């Protein structure tokens, strides 16, 4: 072996790692000779002087590609042992087995140089501290990466060429099979056909399709494994429903390149590839009418628009099952934010400004009963959809469609002109002499420019055709306008159907600012750009309806500070005033009004009267003694406002009871001492 003299005793005292790798599991299964040759390197390491116990085989990366270190646990283990200085040599069948990336091999070579580790393959021994060995290893690394690039480019070019002819065979979606001649046809299984057809028949939303298949199984064609080619059945999940609804193959269109691989760098420095779905205008190969379809291309575009309108994370507000008709399209005129829908336990709905949750509400932000807004908006909708308005709308739609047709005609002429220019440039290129490369190169560049212009013109034509709205039948629309009120109020019409009908004409609704809380102003913006404003009286809520009448509150507020509750009850009854529930006023109702409106009660004591506590403090005795005197009739007292004891008090009465205290031995003349003071 070349360079065997570079192996020293220090290298042999450390471990020898034999690294095995093959790109795919198919190679591991079929290319067994290569695997055996790699395992034989273990014996080669023993021949070069390593003890059998010091030779370690790393074969966990069999079946993994060497384009990156992602998922290659064996390579990471090798690098960790290398950094610890435990490795004397790394054996590989060839340099491409260690990796196909220059970056990975350069990192490995640098660490091997720093730790004095040898790299050994079938061509010889490489000492990375030697510049010539490092240069040769770098050249072989570049050749390995170039080899991978050439092979991948060759394979991708062959795949694209077959795809451009519509002949690249790929795993077909469920509902399609290949016939004996290799053509893509509809699955002859009638149960499979019915399942796929029912998915598109109920395609209002992906979750709606899943709900429709809750008690029904859905087919799946297995590819690979023990069930390869078999038809399996199971529940329909949301992801599978989206996969069916978004697949253009069901519209009879052959598409290649719907998905692309993107690489991102994680914070830890690892490169992570992920698959993304490209927009429809970026699909590289699209062949319409390639095979029989379950739906038409127009149906596919309509379903695509519905799914996009259902994406709430992108700002869409699709119609749902709740009874609030303006759910998702009503906004607050105070702060401009969308208003959320909230349902009470009674089942009634209400629109509430979302700024309240963010604590950013303005003084004009409001909440309102959904029925108040919905009735006004529905009335405006039914008034607008009349046969006369339908005729005007159809005339306008006809003018718009004519303009679109003229636009499509212009795009068709532009595509025809671009096709002629491309054919002319192609004829000029083929007519030039091949030996005259100066002329041929210029003609080739001109041909490529014309082909690019043709592709752009055809893309513009396809976009114009896709955006052309179909003109509805005028007779059916006039009949619908006459039956619309009956259809709107029919029991079979669901709230979701009403919402969808509402959104076909109305773009959004705004609860405009209004200082009078008993009134509401509603702004309606139609899809045509026209706006309407509705002013109405708000229905009182339950709390407002039970509120005490204003006249009763005013009377209690005026007379309350100087009039007792009993007198107020008599006055309110005499004037025929009742509570919010319609009941006559009593003491409890008057007390509640006082508490709610902070109305004070009249003073309970006259100028010559004291309370029990005041008398006890004046006599320096216990309040219980005062209560004893009142109960025995020694001291006169009356019941005042609030059921308080009012005691007539003057210096003469005070002197009498002070004398009684001084002469009565069983009475404690000292005032009561609080428990906290006694405890202290």
DSSP string for residues in 562-617? GS-HHHHHHHHHHTT-B-TTSPBP-HHHHHHHHHHHTPPPPPSS-TTEE-HHHHHH
Residue 507 dihedral angles phi and psi, to the nearest 5°: -80, -50
Question: Rounded to whole angstroms, how far apart are CA atoms 126 and 114?
Answer: 14
Hunting for tokens 């590289």 — which residue is that? Answer: 284
Nearest alpha-carbon partner for 418 in 467, 463, 459, 464: 459
Based on the residue annotation, tell me whether 101 is a catalytic residue of this protein: no
Say if residues 296 and 255 touch (Cβ distance below 8 Å).
no
Helices (H), 115-252: 131-164, 190-201, 206-212, 238-245
Question: Rounded to whole angstroms, how far apart are CA atoms 330 and 377?
Answer: 11
Q: Which long-range contacts (CB under 8 A, 24 or more apart) does 647-652 make?
A: 647/609, 647/610, 647/611, 647/612, 647/615, 648/608, 648/609, 649/608, 649/609, 649/610, 649/614, 649/615, 649/618, 650/608
- β-pairing, 254-256 vs 285-287, is antiparallel
* C-alpha 124: how far from chain center: 57
Which tokens sit at 113?
Answer: 């140089």
Helix axes 474-489, 387-431, angle to 10 degrees: 130
Q: If you ran DSSP here, which 8-state letter would residue 14 be given?
A: S
Question: Rounded to whole angstroms, how far apart are CA atoms 444 and 437?
Answer: 10
Query: CA separation (Å) from 661 to 37, 609, 625, 666?
Result: 121, 21, 10, 9
Question: Rounded to whole angstroms, how far apart are CA atoms 230 and 222?
Answer: 6
To 5 degrees, how large is the angle CA 401–CA 407–CA 409? 105
* C-alpha 558: how far from chain center: 58
Catalytic residue among 23, 68, 144, 205: 23
Question: Rounded to whole angstroms, how far apart are CA atoms 1 and 120?
Answer: 10
* C-alpha 380: how far from chain center: 33
Q: Which residues, in sequence order, are CB contacts of 646 under 8 Å at separation 6+? A: 604, 605, 606, 609, 610, 611, 637, 638, 639, 640
Neighbours of 316 (CB within 10 A): 12
Torsion of CA 280, 286, 291, 295, to 10 degrees: 20
Burial class of residue 78 (count of CB atoms within 10 Å of its CB; 0-12, 13-18, 19+)? buried
Hunting for tokens 């006259």 — which residue is that? Answer: 606
Q: Which residues, in sequence order, are CB contacts of 306 under 8 Å at separation 6+? A: 203, 204, 205
Which residues are annotated as catalytic?
Answer: 23
């Amino acid at each position: 072996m070349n360079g065997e003299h570079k192996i020293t005793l220090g290298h042999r005292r450390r471990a020898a790692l034999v690294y095995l790798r093959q790109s795919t599991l198919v190679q591991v299964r079929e290319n067994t000779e290569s695997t055996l040759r790699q395992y034989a390197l273990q014996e080669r390491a023993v021949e070069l002087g390593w003890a059998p116990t010091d030779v370690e085989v790393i074969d966990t990366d069999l079946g993994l590609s060497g384009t990156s270190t992602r998922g290659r646990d064996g390579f990471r283990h090798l690098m960790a042992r290398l950094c610890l200085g435990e490795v004397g040599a790394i054996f590989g069948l060839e340099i491409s087995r260690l990796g196909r990336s220059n970056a990975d091999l350069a990192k490995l070579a640098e660490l091997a140089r720093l730790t004095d580790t040898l790299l050994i393959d079938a061509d010889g021994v490489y000492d990375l501290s030697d510049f010539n060995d490092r240069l040769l290893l770098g050249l072989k690394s570049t050749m390995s990466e170039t080899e991978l690039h050439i092979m991948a480019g060759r394979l991708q070019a062959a795949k694209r060429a077959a795809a451009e002819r519509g002949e690249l065979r790929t795993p077909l979606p469920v509902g399609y099979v290949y016939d004996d001649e290799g053509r893509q046809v509809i699955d002859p299984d009638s149960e499979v056909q019915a399942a796929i057809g029912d998915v598109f028949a109920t395609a209002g939303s992906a979750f709606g399709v899943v709900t429709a298949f809750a008690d029904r199984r859905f087919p799946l064609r297995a590819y690979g494994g023990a069930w390869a080619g078999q038809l399996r059945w199971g529940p329909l999940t949301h992801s599978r429903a989206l996969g069916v609804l978004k697949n253009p193959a069901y519209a009879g269109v052959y598409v290649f390149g719907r998905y692309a691989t993107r690489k991102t760098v994680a914070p830890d420095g690892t490169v992570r590839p992920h698959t993304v779905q490209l927009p429809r205008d970026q699909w590289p190969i699209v062949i319409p009418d390639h095979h029989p379809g379950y739906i038409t291309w127009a149906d596919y575009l309509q379903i695509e628009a519905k799914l996009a309108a259902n994406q709430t994370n992108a700002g869409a507000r699709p119609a749902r099952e709740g009874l609030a008709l303006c759910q998702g399209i009503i906004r607050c005129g105070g702060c401009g934010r969308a208003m959320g829908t909230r349902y009470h336990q009674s089942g009634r709905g209400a629109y509430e400004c979302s700024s309240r949750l963010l604590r950013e509400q303005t003084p004009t932000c409001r909440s309102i009963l959904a029925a108040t807004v919905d009735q006004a908006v529905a009335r405006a909708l039914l008034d607008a959809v009349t046969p006369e308005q339908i005729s005007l709308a159809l005339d306008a739609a006809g003018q718009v469609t004519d303009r679109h047709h003229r636009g499509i005609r212009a795009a068709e002429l532009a595509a025809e002109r671009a096709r002629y220019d491309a054919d002319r440039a192609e004829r000029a290129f083929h007519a030039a002499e091949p030996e005259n490369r100066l002329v041929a190169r210029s003609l080739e560049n001109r041909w490529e420019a014309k082909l690019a212009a043709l592709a752009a013109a055809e893309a513009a034509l396809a976009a114009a055709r896709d955006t052309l709205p179909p003109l509805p039948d005028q007779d059916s629309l006039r009949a619908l306008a006459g039956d619309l009120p009956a259809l709107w109020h029919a029991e079979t019409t669901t709230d979701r159907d009403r919402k969808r009908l509402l959104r076909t004409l109305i773009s959004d609704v705004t609860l405009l600012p209004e200082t009078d809380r008993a009134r509401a102003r509603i702004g309606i913006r139609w899809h045509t750009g026209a706006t309407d404003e509705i002013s109405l009286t708000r229905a009182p809520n339950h709390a407002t309806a039970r509120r005490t009448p204003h006249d009763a509150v005013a009377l209690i507020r005026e007379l309350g500070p100087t009039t007792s509750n009993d007198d107020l009850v008599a006055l309110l009854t005499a004037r025929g005033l009742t509570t919010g529930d319609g009941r006559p006023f009593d003491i409890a109702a008057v007390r509640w009004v006082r508490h709610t409106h902070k109305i004070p009660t009249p003073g309970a004591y006259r100028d010559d009267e004291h309370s029990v506590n005041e008398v006890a403090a004046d006599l320096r005795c216990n309040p219980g003694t005062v209560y004893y005197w009142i109960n025995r009739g020694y001291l006169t007292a009356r019941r005042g406002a609030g059921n308080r004891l009012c005691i007539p008090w003057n210096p003469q009465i005070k002197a009498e009871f002070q004398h009684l205290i001084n002469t009565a031995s069983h009475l404690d003349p000292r005032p009561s001492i609080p428990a906290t003071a006694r405890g202290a």
